[in-house]
Amino acid sequence: MKKALNAAKREQKYIIAQKINEFNSRNNAKTKFSKLYEEYWSNREELESQRRMAKRQRVVAESGNEATCSTFEVIINKASSSRISLMIEVLIV
């Protein structure tokens, strides 16, 4: 910001200086900028938290689905091999 201030022309210097002062007032709880700054970061953190929770829910659902499908495949394979064994025994006897 200081570099921009030094490189600016007369009117721009004043505007840049005001914005720097406004930004530096973010820790003063009485300023409008401070309230907006706090609200922005609060909303951003909330949205990030919601995004992480949604991702975790998706991962859990995918994992549960994968586990369920794997279990069904094992059951189907066991049932199929049992039927084949039974058919072979019937044919042999």
**Domain coverage including residue 66:** 2-92
d(CA 78, CA 71): 11
- Please state, in angstroms and as integers, the Cα–Cα distance from residue 65 to each residue in 37, 56, 62, 68, following that order: 42, 14, 5, 5
How many domains is the chain partitioned into structurally? 1
Give the pLDDT band (50/70/90) at residue 85. low
d(CA 49, CA 51): 5
Task: Evaluate if residue 6 carries a pLDDT over 60.
Answer: yes
- Please state, in angstroms and as integers, the Cα–Cα distance from residue 5 to each residue in 17, 24, 35, 38, following that order: 7, 15, 25, 25
Mean pLDDT, the chain, integer: 83
Considering only CA atoms, which of 47, 46, 21, 25 is closest in space to residue 36?
A: 25
Task: Evaluate if residue 93 carries a pLDDT over 60.
Answer: no
Give the pTM. Answer: 0.50
pLDDT tens across 38-82, in order? Answer: 899 999 999 999 999 999 999 999 999 999 999 988 888 887 777
